[in-house]
Structure 1
Amino acid sequence: MSENVEEVRAGVVARYGELARAAQAGERVVEPQEVTGGCFGAAGYDDTTGLPDGALRASLGCGNPVAVADLQPGETVLDLGSGGGIDVLLSARRVGPTGKAYGLDATPEMIELAKANAAEAGAANVEFLHGHIEDVPLPDDSVDVVISNCVINLSADKPRVLAEAFRVLRPGGRLGVSDVIADDGLDPAQRAEAERLVGCTVGTLTESEYRALLAKAGFTTYTITRTHAAAGGLHSAIIRAATPAAPSGVTIRPMRESDAARVLAIYQAGLDGGNASFETTAPDWRAFDAAKLPLHRHVAVDTASGEVVGWIAVSAVSSRCVYAGVVEHSVYVHPDHGGRGIGPALLNALIQSTETAGIWTIQSGVFPENTASLRLHEKAGFRVVGTRHRIGRHHGRWRDVVFIERRSSATGL
């Protein structure tokens, strides 16, 4: 970790330590006047009935992520940068006695304040953790929902924060974040001054930057909704995202370079079956990496062994801009892991990530003898466009190819 990140962390902890002490002393801490609509602090909540006054005094958020996270009874939720605990206490109400709400904060004084507020509220299903949002002290796939309220902008390593959120979320898990975003193209000096006025001292992300980081982290669906205007081209916003669903015992995440050997081995196993492709030998990683679009490569990982057991990826069909939303995909599952629902899960992850990115057509060619693949794609919404007869030679014989495609129901209508 760079010295800059550590320096930023220390500054944020010191600042919020002072605010926590002020709240403990009965003061109502910062509530920026530069934000219109009264969305900062406790004013951002519809109902705070029964919450300790200490939690309200220490409310430093820019919205109400609990209201958009769709929390359900029995779920486990994690609040990144929980401060005085207001969102943790509200979440604990939503998930009920069979659920649990974690709060994570780097400031010891905030942890102390939050614990006192939880005790006053009689909340038994909460736990406050001391740590950094870039290094969440929870295991993989351990929570259903991650929320955060105007805290991610305080991190000097925002990509790591979103990657950690993805890591701890279970398959099909949800992210619901209130944060401050910036308009694209702002003058750097004016933007820095606006961030100072609003309290985003480490800088904000633009909407396009947020989207890119969510996709890189592995979220396959994401939306950003602006809620209120702030100073100088800044806006409070709600960011919603979801991780891809997966069958029991499997997690779907972004493909990494460290997966290369396993991905290519699965590729070769499919080719050896004789009905996967005209290719007979898997490419090396350099060629594979160069051909596949970076934000639409997903792997299925067996959670017991940690091994990659399947993958899916796409290539652009043309360099012409008119075909920018058309891709060709490949999906392979290790022969030893068929019948687990991995293929449908990988296809669903790809459909989500491509639709969210504005891609309107996924296409491929399948040998007619590969009936399992044709059934798989039919169930995923692909249609048969036609058959290209005797289109290529494979192992010394001419073979037909069934051309299939899936048109997006959300993009390109």
Structure 2
Amino acid sequence: MAHDEVVERYSGLARAAMLGRVILDCGAEEFERGCFGTAGYDDATGLPEGALRASLGCGDPVAVAELRAGEGVLDLGSGGGIDVLLSARRVGPSGKVYGLDASLDMLELARANAAEAGATNVEFLHGTIEAVPLPDYAVDAVISNCVINLSDDKPAVLAETFRVLRPGGRFGVSDVVTDGPVDPVRRAAAERRVGCVAGALTIDAYRDLLRGAGFIGISIRPTADHGDGVHSAIIQAHKPAIGPGLEIRPMREADADQVLAIYQAGLDTGQASFETLAPSWEGFTASRPPNLRYVAVDTETGLVVGWIAASPVSARPAYAGVVEHSVYVHPGCQAHGIGRALLAAFIAGSEDAGIWTIQSGIFPENAASLSLHQALGFRVVGTRERIARHHGTWRDVLMLERRSTAVGR
């Protein structure tokens, strides 16, 4: 469905709600069978009737976003404001909740509902979920209720979501997904029954888009079955956590010079690798999958202060879930927890990608790297004695592995 069609459809529903009409009449039993509406909420008591009438969601994202007092929250496609008002209760007067909608009619309805509820910690914004009118690192959580599937540019939606979240921020969404590819006839049948289906992604495609945007800790749990391979689902993920003034995000081509400079600085120490010269960017990217490359950046300057990336250990299918990795931190930024944060994010991201074993080769003299890896679950599995020359000297390499407790069991 085109953007203008979506806006007009939901504007019409908002106008109907403002006239006192019930858009959906869905009880608990009907909700379990795939009907949308307020029956999916744990506690909607005390909310304005206008917010309840305009509820078109397929779940309760507020319940899964783990909202806490004082936090900032963004609701993508906030409609009549039900999830904004529920979030406002959770975050309290010291928090702030933003509702974003492309429909001016929905915004009018939502503002009226907020005024009736006496909610003073909310703000409704006009705009699209593909271009969020908020600055970077503005909120602690992003929620949405059966809206993202309507977008015709979901990568942009998730990139914007990642951008406005603070490090460690959470993504808690109810949306519609499919088990696998759904032919047009079955998709149209599901659309006629419940709506909000035309742009639904498969579970695997949704997961891949979240990974591509930089999210980790991804969970997609189908709930109500709408038939024809279509489900409501609870979708959770988070932005990697790191210390103040820093962000972990996917590596970009624009980072090339800084990444390679940090690489070279590490090689120059003589304790990072047998290599003595960093490769070209083309050589670097050729052997490292794009969705397992992260950088840590200074949020004020945008400068890269560290990076981590993986390489497959073998092209043989049996080893598809085994990678080796490298992690490098700018020499002026070491001992600040950056390497640990990068490695923790990488571990979570690799498990989201189905990786069951991460390997690393470390010189025995590199005590800091050994300590870091062992603190995050790596163990020494052996020593490759005098495996190669480095600056004219034969050197040993300790082989470390981390076996996932979540993948490959």
TM surpasses 0.5:
yes
Does residue 271 of structure 2 align to residue 275 of structure 1? yes
Which of 6, 18, 23 is the equivalent residue of 2:12?
18
Does residue 184 of structure 2 align to residue 188 of structure 1? yes
- Over residues 36-89 of structure 1, what are the superposed CA-to-partner deviations in whole Å (9 max), with x where a residue is unaligned? 536511121122111000000000111111111111111111100000000000
Given that 1:197 and 1:231 are in contact with CA atoms closer than 8 Å, whether structure 2 keeps it comes out as no
Given that 2:61 and 2:143 are in contact with CA atoms closer than 8 Å, whether structure 1 keeps it comes out as yes
Q: In the superposition, relative to structure 1, how do residues 365 and 38 fare at CA in structure 2: closer, same or farther (>3 Å)?
A: closer
Matched to 2:145, the amino acid is N
How far off its partner does 1:200 sit? Answer: 2.1
* TM-score, L = length of structure 2: 0.96
CA distance in 2, matches of 1:387, 1:339: 27
How far off its partner does 1:196 sit? Answer: 4.1
Does residue 70 of structure 2 align to residue 82 of structure 1? no
Does residue 246 of structure 2 align to residue 250 of structure 1? yes
How far off its partner does 1:195 sit? Answer: 2.6
Matched to 2:135, the amino acid is P
What's the RMSD between the two structures over aligned residues? 1.5
| Consecutive unaligned residues in structure 1, runs of 5 or more | 1-6
Number of residue pairs matched? 407
Show the counterpart of 2:137: 141
CA distance in 2, matches of 1:208, 1:54: 36
How far off its partner does 1:201 sit? Answer: 5.8
Show the counterpart of 1:303: 299
- Aligned counterparts, 1:395-410, within 5 A: 395-410=391-406
Matched to 2:15, the amino acid is R
Q: In the superposition, relative to structure 1, how do residues 196 and 160 fare at CA in structure 2: closer, same or farther (>3 Å)?
A: farther
Does residue 332 of structure 2 align to residue 344 of structure 1? no
Show the counterpart of 2:257: 261
Does residue 300 of structure 2 align to residue 332 of structure 1? no
- Over residues 155-176 of structure 1, what are the superposed CA-to-partner deviations in whole Å (9 max), with x where a residue is unaligned? 1101111111111111111111
CA distance in 2, matches of 1:192, 1:268: 55
Which of 34, 42, 48 is the equivalent residue of 2:44?
48
CA distance in 1, matches of 2:405, 2:54: 44
Show the counterpart of 2:228: 232
- Over residues 5-44 of structure 1, what are the superposed CA-to-partner deviations in whole Å (9 max), with x where a residue is unaligned? xx82211111111111100000011468996536511121
CA distance in 1, matches of 2:192, 2:311: 43
CA distance in 2, matches of 1:365, 1:275: 11
CA distance in 1, matches of 2:167, 2:394: 42
Does residue 385 of structure 2 align to residue 389 of structure 1? yes
Given that 1:54 and 1:84 are in contact with CA atoms closer than 8 Å, whether structure 2 keeps it comes out as yes
How far off its partner does 1:405 sit? Answer: 1.1
Matched to 2:224, the amino acid is H
Matched to 2:259, the amino acid is V
CA distance in 2, matches of 1:175, 1:280: 41
Matched to 1:143, the amino acid is V
Show the counterpart of 2:3: 9
Which of 375, 389, 398 is the equivalent residue of 2:371?
375
CA distance in 1, matches of 2:155, 2:60: 22
CA distance in 1, matches of 2:47, 2:26: 22
- Over residues 159-198 of structure 1, what are the superposed CA-to-partner deviations in whole Å (9 max), with x where a residue is unaligned? 1111111111111111111011112133233223323432
* TM-score, L = length of structure 1: 0.95
Show the counterpart of 2:167: 171
Given that 2:181 and 2:202 are in contact with CA atoms closer than 8 Å, whether structure 1 keeps it comes out as no
Show the counterpart of 2:193: 197
Partner-residue secondary structure (3-state), 2:20: coil
- Aligned counterparts, 1:98-177, within 5 A: 98-177=94-173
Matched to 1:67, the amino acid is A
Does residue 53 of structure 2 align to residue 57 of structure 1? yes
CA distance in 1, matches of 2:306, 2:25: 49
Give me the identity figure in percent: 67
Q: In the superposition, relative to structure 1, how do residues 270 and 375 fare at CA in structure 2: closer, same or farther (>3 Å)?
A: same
How far off its partner does 1:147 sit? Answer: 0.3
| Consecutive unaligned residues in structure 2, runs of 5 or more | none
Per mean C-alpha deviation after superposition, the further-off stretch among 119-128 and 375-384 is 375-384
Given that 1:223 and 1:240 are in contact with CA atoms closer than 8 Å, whether structure 2 keeps it comes out as yes
CA distance in 1, matches of 2:197, 2:66: 30
